Amino acid sequence: MNETIKKMLQDGYNELAYTDQYILGWVLDHVVYFAICDRNMTDRVTKLDRASRGAGYALRFSPNKMQKMLLMSNGSVCLCSEKFFNETVADSKYNRGEIFEKMVTEYFGLEWEKDAVPFTKAGDIEVDGTAYQIKFEKATFTNEKTLSNLRNKA
């Protein structure tokens, strides 16, 4: 049953998402990394979890060590130390995901601006004409309630 629900969430997200390209970030051995990947990889490194506030199940990027190693083998980039990352979060009004998005955007030489554009309308960043969604570990891709609401609007 859980694999069926996970596949339903993956397929629903992929069907509605503006892009199928991703920049995924994680911490391993006190270093923050990211990798550029497509939906085939995200399907391999996401998990089914309970959503908050009665939203059913959620599809989350919460990689275990083996999944982090898989991402590493996909061509990862060392972004910064975990210490620097945590200090930056602590000194900011933004959360871990937003700080990660900001750091990745600046890594590519672009200026970051906080926005609330839905995943169905645009990526978080565009590099060389390709739109990417950016997710840091423990991020939610979608949940049952969100997918249901989006499908009801269509």
DSSP classification of residue 47 = E
Query: H helices within the chain, ranges in order?
Result: 2-16, 39-45, 65-73, 82-90, 96-107, 144-153
> What tokens appear for 140 in the block?
């939610």
Entry pTM = 0.93
Stretches where the chain sits below pLDDT 50 are none
CA nearest neighbour of 36 among 47, 25, 44: 25
Task: Tell me the longest C-alpha to C-alpha distance in the chain.
Answer: 44
Q: Which pLDDT score is estimated for 152?
A: 82
Whole-angstrom CA distances from 123 to 23, 50, 86, 144, 152 are: 10, 25, 25, 21, 22
